[in-house]
Chains A and B, each alone.
Chain A
Amino acid sequence: MTPIRKGLNYSFYPGCSLHASGKEYDISTRALFKALNIGLKEVPDWFCCGATPAHNVDELLSLSLCAKNLSLADAVEGDLAVACAACFSRLKVTQHHLKDDAVKRKQVETAIDGPAAIGKPVKHILEILAREFGLAKLEEQVKKPLMGLKVACYYGCLLTRPPEVPELDDCEDPSIMEDLLRAMGAEPVKWSHRMECCGANFTLSRPAVVLKLSRAILESAQRAGADCIMVACPLCHGNLDIRQKDIQEKQSSQDATLLGNIFGSELQHGGTAQPRDLPIFYVTQLAALAMGVSSDKLGFESVIIDPKPLLKEKQLL
């Protein structure tokens, strides 16, 4: 394939999740960028960004880990592409904090034992696709429009908040995911929970929190008539996909008890609307599918809620 646009090359910070529990995000990002002929070169020997646990209890450690990663990325050509919303947020926070704070910068430079080469622009793949590659070009490249697919775009927390850090989109009413979806021929639904928190890293320490918050998100998407949810963060994906069966079980038993209390026990096992499976897609999986990338190269086999029945129903497989 001939290059579509010369010089669109990025360094890439995948982050820990993309090498493990979110590996289909890594696979589909690479497949999509290859299909669009955008260069993507992984930063060698990157470290964990520290994520929420590090800044939760030790800001200096968090800033130092991110500054170290930015310095490693500085040696690789191209702006830094990041797929994980949490890594993206931590790297941008570090740039934001160290820009004007000489004291913190000095401490970080002592910690990493070298100058903080942190100036490289950090970009989330959403903005690379929608703004740098461009929606118009993307639309031209679509080979299989995602016709008839109703999608709830889920932003979660860190892609837009606090607005002066990610500088990605409006912090209360963003549209970048919906814009991308429309370019792929799919139909974004209007729904209430696209900016709500999924419970994030409480999945390890307090799963009950995740079950409560993620349940509200899944129910809202279902009420809005969505066939599926699209995310751009491996932590959101983990909570909505991996925990979905647990949520459904809890939901059914609670609904049955409630109905039983109202109508008597004979109704407990009949008549309740069963929660529907909602496949959770990464933005890169849907975009790659629309670009004609074969579905067996997008990691669909490693998710919990099987998206294939839905894709078959919509004749997208």
Chain B
Amino acid sequence: MHLSNETMNVSFVKKVEALSGSSVRRCFQCGKCSAGCPMSSFMEHPPNRVVRLLQLGQGQRVLAGRSIWYCASCETCTTRCPNKVDLAAIMDALRKLSWDADGPSKESYVQLANRLFIENIRTYGRQYELRLGAAFNMKSGQFLKDLMLGPKLLSKGKLKMFHSKNRNISEIEGIFKRIEEMRKKGEAL
């Protein structure tokens, strides 16, 4: 890796630090985060390397990989960091930046699940689990995924066939709209 002003994106790191409220620079690469990470075997860059890449201004490499979408938000890294680097918050910030940029990602299923989950909140106020599962299968093209699970859970009463919207649903729409307006005006990240 050749490091120069041209190959290092320092403003990206500053954005991550602003969004996460955590320093990236404080990390001295002890590796405790990766040692305790239950998901590191699924990632091409384990958590400590994600931070190292950020320190070196290589945010785009992180966003292009799947690591951020395989973080389970279990908070083990944040809990154990000796330098109080809030890695779980940094992962949230990276996902948001990738989400906003609609940027390159190898991990579209997790993004799709997140999007459908949030859409469910906006439409119904609460999670409608059956719709969430069905919409995920349709949109991800995995029509047979967990095919036998749905009827089983329905028969156990664990999934509801029908779901009524919150009667105060307009308040949720208001929250979504006002956040969008704030962002348009540049009043919020």
The answer to whether B79 touches A161, judged by C-beta atoms less than 8 angstroms apart, is yes
- Which of B19, B38, B96, B182 interacts with A111 by CB under 8 Å? B182
Interface string of B128-145 (1 = CB under 8 A from A): 010011001000000001
- Which of B74, B125, B160, B187 interacts with A107 by CB under 8 Å? B187
The answer to whether B72 touches A197, judged by C-beta atoms less than 8 angstroms apart, is yes
A residues 189-248 touching B (CB-CB < 8 Å): 196-197, 199-202, 204-207, 209, 213, 242
Interface string of A45-69 (1 = CB under 8 A from B): 1111011111111111100110010
| A19 sits at the interface (CB 8 A) | yes
Known: A56-B73, A60-B179, A161-B74. A48 touches B125 (CB 8 A): yes
A-B pair count, CB < 8 Å, reads 157
Main secondary structure of the interface of B (DSSP, over half): helix
Known: A58-B99, A64-B179. A47 touches B129 (CB 8 A): no
Known: A64-B179, A200-B72. A57 touches B96 (CB 8 A): yes
C-alpha gap A242/B152 in the complex (Å): 10
| A112 sits at the interface (CB 8 A) | yes
Residue of B whose beta carbon sits closest to that of A207: B146
Contacts of A59 in B (CB 8 A): 19, 92-93, 96
The distance from the CB of B102 to the nearest CB of chain A, in whole angstroms, is 11
C-alpha gap A209/B176 in the complex (Å): 31
The answer to whether B79 touches A162, judged by C-beta atoms less than 8 angstroms apart, is yes
* Chain B residues within 8 Å of chain A by Cβ, number: 61
Contacts of B86 in A (CB 8 A): 162
| A163 sits at the interface (CB 8 A) | yes
- Which of B72, B112, B156 lies at the interface centre, i.e. has the most chain A CB atoms within 10 A of its CB? B72
* Chain A residues within 8 Å of chain B by Cβ, number: 56
C-alpha gap A99/B167 in the complex (Å): 30
Contacts of A138 in B (CB 8 A): none
Contacts of B146 in A (CB 8 A): 207
Stretch from B1-9, B25-33, B46-54, B113-121 that touches the partner: B113-121
| A8 sits at the interface (CB 8 A) | no
C-alpha gap A54/B122 in the complex (Å): 11
A residues 158-176 touching B (CB-CB < 8 Å): 158, 161-163, 171-172
Contacts of A56 in B (CB 8 A): 73, 92, 95, 114
Known: A21-B129, A110-B182, A162-B79. A53 touches B74 (CB 8 A): no
C-alpha gap A82/B79 in the complex (Å): 22
Contacts of A50 in B (CB 8 A): 118, 121
C-alpha gap A171/B75 in the complex (Å): 10
- Which of B39, B42, B110, B153 interacts with A205 by CB under 8 Å? B110
Residue of B whose beta carbon sits closest to that of A50: B121
| A304 sits at the interface (CB 8 A) | yes
Residue of B whose beta carbon sits closest to that of A54: B118
Sorted nearest first, the 7 A-B pairs with minimum C-beta distance are A161-B75, A16-B127, A205-B113, A53-B117, A197-B74, A157-B74, A53-B114
The 8 listed contacts between A and B (C-beta, < 8 Å) are A20-B159, A48-B127, A52-B73, A55-B73, A56-B114, A68-B172, A204-B132, A302-B157
